[in-house]
Structure 1
Amino acid sequence: MGLPNQDRCLMMESDQLTLVALFDGHGENGHVVADRAVRDLPFRLLKSTTNKVESTIRESFLETDASPEIKTVTDGGTSAVIAWRIGTRVYLASTGDSTGMLVHYQDGTSQVVLEAIKHKPADPLERARIEAAGGTVLIPEDAELTSRVLYNTRLGEMALAMSRCIGDFDGKGPGYLIAEPSVVAKDLSPTLGDGKSFYYLVVASDGLVDEIAQGVLLTKLGNALKKGVGLSKVVKQLLDEAERSWSLKMMGTYRDDMSIVVTKLRI
């Protein structure tokens, strides 16, 4: 019996608003946490009545993490990344290590103009916080391998490849993990509307982006969006390419969950 898909995604669009969210679960019950988070966090954002968007984002992440539906889940957690456009302003918020990007396409070139912050245990500020709480950060000699934070669960020792997440309360108890998101924002200038220059959003889980070079990924996505056709085909090709990479690397015994959401902004 195969393991459950632990990724969850959501996208909402209108002329004045775009909201894209991705949750990449991990641990025995990561799919449960991701599923509950995708039903909770986006709607906390949208129902907020405050005009302080960055405060709304922060509170929505923390309230989702503290919700009874997630607090009762053991042995599991999820990364969370959102891309939220309100008018011509775009916010990227993240906790964990999933990818969020605002990309500008012009003259056949896709350029990242804003990227969500990833939280890895070896990052200096993250490592200092973890070690100040008495935690241990593993930093492998092989630069291609990721750093990890260690903590105990009822199933044994966990070595988590991120320093922030939703859920994972065994690591939150001693203070090694937090749910606090990092938020970055950018105001956009309206494009000419001729289809030659436009902005688009990408959110993706590490199972995909770790296996496909960013330049290759964005070139293929940008060209498909410019043509206005074939995006689904391109996405499938990218997923197939990443799956082949996993199969070669793991000799066919494992591949990570892979998800991506792409949308061209209406500006």
Structure 2
Amino acid sequence: MLKNEQPLLRDLRRLFSLSSRHLCRRIDLVRRHLQSPFFSVDVSPLLRSPFSRAGLSRFAFFSGHLQRLCLSLRRSLQVRPPGSSVENVMRSLGFGFACKKGLKPDSPNQDDFAALCCSAFRLFGVFDGHGPSGHDVSGYVHRMLFALLLTDESLNRNPQLALRNAFVATHQSVLAYAAHTERFDCSLSGSTASVVLQTQRRLFVAHVGDSRAVLARQRRDGVVAETLTVDHKPTIPAERARIEAAGGELKRLECDIPYRVFLKGRLYPGLAMSRALGDAIASHAGVSCEPDLSTVELDRSCLFVIIASDGVWEFISNQEAVNIVNEAMGSERKVRAKAAAERLALEAFKRWVEEEGNVVDDITCQIICLR
């Protein structure tokens, strides 16, 4: 065991509520990964929003320990040199984000996101919390899901399997963590998760909930939107069948628009989506943590990907979003990805105000340039 591994185990156990044996096994997995070409060099810093409830300090706790662990195991790991700004790093990666709190005075920003880039792959995710502790769940989910992916031996040879396993394990972990620590309650709280893993030739997409991912392709008649995810609504026939088979039911409450998932004969949980992470009660009503998985072969027509919470998509179509981002980036896609994300978020905010007045959902989007 390395000299400073024991404090890392203690801190990681406190963060993830895992056993020492499990964490030792995880460290062994990280060690093996870092010896393989898949984790060769130049892991860029993890990026995440400074706008979320707990701010950068909460994220720094995780990323700092992860980087210390990696540096302990392999000194050749390269981190961002001192003095280089996050903006410069994002420009070089062709990545931009925006994360804006909505107009809900009694609620913190429940959106969260993360990005991780290395020489072999890039990993991106958007997480939209819901319920009284949704902000805590989304924060926990993005940290745990990325950590599990980083230490999964199957990530290199079977990314889809690794993604699926990480989603299910994260769901189980957040339920156990909430029950064990009582730091937050996820009986009526959960999170969406939309994750895109980019390798040199492919995109691997996994998602639960209604945070959507869209691919922009160059066609003869212009740049067109291609849907990468389908919102998990309980009215989809297959989703409804699973919910009813599990003892749940769909109801539309008076003065409410969407159909929601309830335990049969009860007035809870009332979730407006059919898949999510967390949501302990809803999981007994057929709400699933199993992600939908898809793969896209990359070619010259693939321009960029948008991943965004439903605050963006409520009043903006997929094609509109692609048009807004494409126009904002122009010919300098990598350089202007951040500005394009801000432009899309601002337009989404304006649409909410126009349609709903003083009601605006939290808004988060990521722009990932593919060439």
Scaled to the shorter chain, the TM-score interval is: 0.7 to 0.9
CA distance in structure 1 between the partners assigned to 2:138 and 2:170 by the alignment: 11
Larger mean CA deviation between 99-108 and 239-248 belongs to: 99-108
- What is the aligned partner in structure 2 of residue 34 from structure 1? 138
Q: Which of 215, 221, 227 does residue 102 from structure 1 map onto?
A: 215
- What is the aligned counterpart of 2:248 among 128, 135, 157? 135
Match of 2:166 in 1: 60
Q: Structure 1 residue aligned with 2:274, among 139, 159, 163?
A: 163
Structure-2 residue corresponding to 1:194: none
1:69 partner amino acid = Y
- Structure 1 match to 2:317: 213
Q: CA deviation at 1:2?
A: 3.5
d(CA) in 1 for partners of 2:129, 2:159: 26
SS of equivalent to 1:246: helix
The structure-2 alpha-carbon separation of the partners of 1:15 and 1:108, relative to structure 1 and needing over 3 Å to count, comes to: farther
Q: Taking structure 1 as reference, are residues 10 and 130 closer, same or farther at Cα in structure 2, changes over 3 Å only?
A: same
**Which of 238-247 and 105-114 deviates more?**
105-114
Q: What residue is the counterpart of 2:298 in the other structure?
A: 188
- Give the aligned partner of residue 259 of structure 2: 147
Q: Check conservation: 1:114, 1:186, Cα contact below 8 A.
A: no
Q: CA RMSD in A?
A: 2.6
Report the alpha carbon displacement of residue 131 of structure 1 after superposing the two structures with TM.
1.1
1:11 aligns with 2:115: yes
Checking the alignment, whether the CA contact within 8 Å between 1:106 and 1:198 is kept in structure 2 is: no
What CA distance in whole angstroms lies between the structure 2 residues aligned with 1:71 and 1:140?
A: 30
Q: Work out which of the residue numbers 247, 262, 266 in structure 1 matches 2:367.
A: 262
Deviations 1:211-257 (A, max 9, x none): 223222101212334421544344333322322322233331x2111
Counterpart CA distance in 1 for 2:119 and 2:216 is 18
- Aligned mates of 2:195, 2:312 — CA distance in 1: 17
Instruction: Assess, with a 3 A threshold, how the Cα gap between structure 1 residues 241 and 56 changes in structure 2: closer, same or farther.
Output: same
* Greater displacement, 71-80 / 102-111: 102-111
Give, in angstroms, the shift of residue 106 of structure 1. 5.1
**Aligned-residue identity in percent:** 28
Paired letter, 1:167: G
Matched to 2:170, the amino acid is T
Matched with 2:238 is 125
Q: Out of 127, 145, 153, which is 1:49 matched to?
A: 153
Deviations 1:134-190 (A, max 9, x none): 211135899x943321249xxx63321100100000111x2421100010102223x
Compared CA separation, residues 171 and 124, structure 1 to 2 (3 A): same
Matched positions, count: 255
Contact 1:225 1:264 in 2 (8 A): no
The structure with the largest helix share of the pair is 2
* Rounded Cα–Cα distance in structure 2 between residues aligned with 1:245 and 1:231: 21
- How far, CA to CA, are the matches of 2:308 and 2:113 in structure 1? 9
1:232 to 338, 352, 355: 338
TM-score (norm 1): 0.85
Q: Deviations over 1:13-58 (max 9, x none)?
A: 2453121101000000011100001111022122211112211111
8 Å Cα contact 2:328/2:343 also seen in 1? no
Distance 2:170 2:158 in 1: 18
Structure 2 counterpart of 1:59, one-letter code: N
CA deviation after TM superposition for structure 1 residue 97, in Å: 1.2
Distance of aligned partners of 1:43 and 1:204 in 2 relative to their CA distance in 1, 3 Å threshold = same
Query: Structure 1 residues 175, 2: closer, same or farther in 2, change over 3 A?
Result: closer
Unaligned runs of 5+ in 2: 1-104
**Contact map agreement 2:325 2:344 (CA 8 A) in 1:** no
Partner Cα distance (1:223, 1:70) in 2: 44
AA aligned opposite 1:115: L
Is 1:109–1:222's contact at 8 Å kept on the other side of the alignment?
A: no
CA distance in 2, matches of 1:47, 1:114: 29
Query: Is the aligned partner of 1:177 residue 2:282?
Result: no
2:351 is matched with 245
- The TM-score, its normalising length taken from structure 2, stands at 0.63
Structure having the higher Rg = 2
Given that 2:212 and 2:309 are in contact with CA atoms closer than 8 Å, whether structure 1 keeps it comes out as yes
Q: Distance in 2 between matches of 1:70 and 1:42?
A: 19
